Structures are given as C-alpha cells and as structure tokens.
Amino acid sequence: MSILNALFISRRPAAAFVVVGLFWGCFAAYIPEIKTRLGVSDAGFGTLLLGSATGLVSSMWLAPILDRWLGARALQAGVVFLSLAWLVPGLMFTPFTFALSLCLVGLGSGLLDVIMNARVSALEAVHDKPLMNANHAMFSVAYGVAALVVAVTREAGLPPAPVFAGFSVLCCLIAPFIWMEVPEFDTSDDQVSGGYPLWPIVLCGAIVLIAFMSEATVEAWSALHLERTLHGRAAEGAFGPAMLGLTMAIGRFSGQAVAARYSEIVVVIVASLVSAVGAVIAAIAPTPMIAYVGFGVLGLGVSVIGPMGLALVGQLVPARLRTEAIGRTAVIGFSGFFFAPVLMGLASDAYGLRVAFAGVAGMLLLAVPLAIVVAKIPRRHKKGAGIAPTPAT
C-alpha cells in the first residue's frame, strides 16, 4: 500500500496527528526560553513537566466516555480543546501556574491521542491495511516543521505566547474538516473470548512507553544539550528537535512499507537497536553537527516502535475493547512524554546531559525482551475480521 493511499484512507485522524505534532514541536523548541523565564533548575523544570501527567491520567478514563458520547464529533472536539489549552502555558511566568497550565494541556493531548489512535486502529481493521506508521509520521512532520518555524521566531525575538496563538488559530480552522463516523464491527465472536486482556495492554504499553520516553527526552532536552553542552546558538538548539521530527517522519513513512513485509516484532527489535546507537552518538558528540547525526539516527529507529506497539494491541484484543485497550496502552506510553523529562532532569543535575542521553540508549534496549514476550501472545483480533458491511470513513 502506498503512503498516499494510506493517508487518504486515514486522512481525518491524520489531521489530528498533525495538530498534536504542531503544538509539541513548538513547545520543544521554546523550552530553553521557557525554562530561563521560569528560573528553575534542570530537575525543577523536569518536575514541572509532571503537571501534564495529571491531565494525561484523567484522559485514560475520560477518552472512551467522550468517544461514545460525541461519536463522529470526537476528533473535532479534541482538536478544539487542545488548541485552546495550548494558549495557556505561553502566558505563565511562575513555576506553579506553568505546572497547572500543563495539566490542562496533558488532558487535551491525552484525549485526542487516544481517540485518533483508536480511529486509525479501526480503519486498519476495516481496510485490512497497516496505517499506524503513516499517521504517526504526520505527527513527526508537523513536529519538525513547527520546530523549524520556532527556530525563526526565536531568532526574531518572538515570545512563546503569540506563536502558540498562531498555531491555535490554524488548528481550529482544521477542525471542521475532520468529522468522522465511527466504523461498526460485528462483535458477536468477542463473547467467546476469555477475560480482560490485561497483559497485552501492559506489555504493549511498556514498549510504547520506552519509545515515547526516548522521544520525549530528545524533545525536551536536545535543544538544551546543543545550546549548553555544545555551545550552539538558539537556532542551532531549535534544530535539534526539528532533526528528530523530520527523521522520525522519514522512519515512519518507511515503516509504512516495512510493516507490510515484516512482522511488528521484528521491526521493534531492529528499531530498538538502531535507536540505541543514535542515543550513544548524541551523548558523546563533540559538536552540534555530530549531535544532529545522533538525534537523526535515534529518530529513524525510535519512530516505528510506538506505532507498532499501538498496532499490536489493536490486534491482540477483541474489537469491542479496542478503543479502551488502545486508550490504556496509549496512556501508559504517553506518560513517557512527561515522566522522561523528570528523570532526565534529575540525571542531568547529577551527572550531566551526556550521561543522561547514554541512559536513554540503555532504556531503548529494554524493548527487545518485551517484544519477544509479546510475540508469544496469540492474536485475539486479525485485520479484516468482523467488519460491518458498510463502514463510514
């Protein structure tokens, strides 16, 4: 299946992935300026980012309810809510209010993440095609583009608030076009299944967690590593998260083709090894250019691990539990975006950013044994099975 065909089939959730990527790319590139404005240490700033985790945990329980309540309008509501939530952090000047604003952002981001991933998984079942990597690639493209835009705005001296406001207006304009009817499935066969699929959720969630923790580490700390450790300018610092986003987009678009030829397990194992090498290169880099190479290799490898984990759990649970299972797997994984910066900040304060990035390499290798265990779980749902005659897309 071609990338363009995959994106056309999933064009509505793909637009939601773009929205999430734009905001997080903008935020990542502005982190050095926001941290300086708040006047906190590395460990303190990492702790403030935990504010997002509070909203994220709430989203795990609220997303399935919101999805059932709003139905075809759920994606639209999530985009508008997240766009409005991102107006707040750029206006905060104290650590406490900044942490509170991130609670709202975490809730909005978590709700939209769960719904859009569930929509993609449902479309994979309807069309019997892999779609997850292409959609996550759109997140990465948007993330990289936003970081490049911020490289320009920071050099021009623009503060975060008006830039976030501009992205909010753009994303609200996208919302009317992502109305999407929820595909219906024949769930009669689900009744013969066993108990609640806890272990597939936990194991796949752990794989996604490792991927997103690694990604979050580069997002939150690559600019600081380039500007502080390697003495780069503001634009050079912003190019760190931009490099991650762009190479992850390449990796995920490539993963769209790879997913059609190789099993998810094989891809996860190889990608974990590649991304660990990239983390080591970034850790020992003597210059910004070498660090870019490291971040790029890390991005290429880690790009497919998270989408593969989410796709796997969609195959391992009954159709009637797909949104809930993906939601809980996603929350386990997306918590990495918030806990990783805290751990990174503590490690940076204690040992420096070079050692902290080396620790990321070790963490990535943990995905290998997890993937081997997941491979032993029998599929509870196969793509193309139990599909309603006329699903809407």
Predicted confidence band at 384 (pLDDT cuts at 50, 70, 90)?
very low
Q: What is the pLDDT, as a whole number, of residue 346?
A: 82
* CB contact at 8 A, 75 and 135: no
CA distance 340 to 49: 9
Lowest mean pLDDT among 10-19, 151-160, 178-187, 226-235: 178-187
Closest CA to 32 of 180, 150, 174, 199: 150
Please say if the pLDDT value at position 151 is more than 70: yes
What pLDDT digit, counting tens, does each position of 97-145 carry?
A: 999 999 999 899 888 988 898 888 788 878 877 788 888 889 888 988 8
Where is mean pLDDT largest: 79-88, 106-115, 384-393? 79-88
Distance CA 81, CA 85 (A): 6
Q: Is the dihedral of CA 236, 240, 242, 243 positive or negative?
A: positive
Residue 149: is its pLDDT beyond 50?
A: yes
Q: Per-residue pLDDT for 274 more than 90?
A: yes
Q: Is the pLDDT of residue 365 over 90?
A: yes
- Mean pLDDT over 21-49 rounds to 86
Cα three-residue angle 196-107-318, rounded to 5 degrees: 20
Inter-CA distances, 149 with 8, 25, 108, 225, Å: 26, 9, 23, 20
- The residue ranges of every structural domain in the chain are 3-179+194-374
- 393 pLDDT higher than 50: no
Fold (CATH) for 3-179+194-374: Growth Hormone; Chain: A; (1.20.1250)
3-class SS letters over the chain? CCHHHHHHHCHHHHHHHHHHHHHHHHHHHHHHHHHHHHCCCHHHHHHHCCHHHHHHHHHHHHHHHHHHHHHHHHHHHHHHHHHHHCCCHHHCCCHHHHHHHHHHHHHHHHHHHHHHHHHHHHHHHHHCCCCHHHHHHHHHHHHHHHHHHHHHHHHCCCCHHHHHHHHHHHHHHHHHHCCCCCCCECCHHHHHCCCCCHHHHHHHHHHHHHHHHHHHHHHHHHHHHHHHHCCCCHHHHHHHHHHHHHHHHHHHHHHHHHCCCCCHHHHHHHHHHHHHHHHHHHHHCCCHHHHHHHHHHHHHHHCCHHHHHHHHHHHHCCHHHHHHHHHHHHHHHHCHHHHHHHHHHHHHHHHCHHHHHHHHHHHHHCHHHHHHHHCCCCCCCCCCCCECCCCCC
Strand partners, 185: 387
pTM: 0.72
pLDDT digits (tens, 9 = 90+) for 241-263: 778 778 888 888 887 777 777 77
Ranges 77-86, 134-143, 166-175: which has the least confidence: 134-143
Residue 319 near residue 269 (C-beta atoms within 8 A): no
Please tell me the number of Cα atoms within 13 Å of 166 on its side-chain side: 11
Q: Name residue 218's amino acid.
A: V
Q: What is the pLDDT of residue 390?
A: 31
* Identity at 69, one-letter amino acid code: W
**Mean pLDDT of all residues in 360-384:** 81
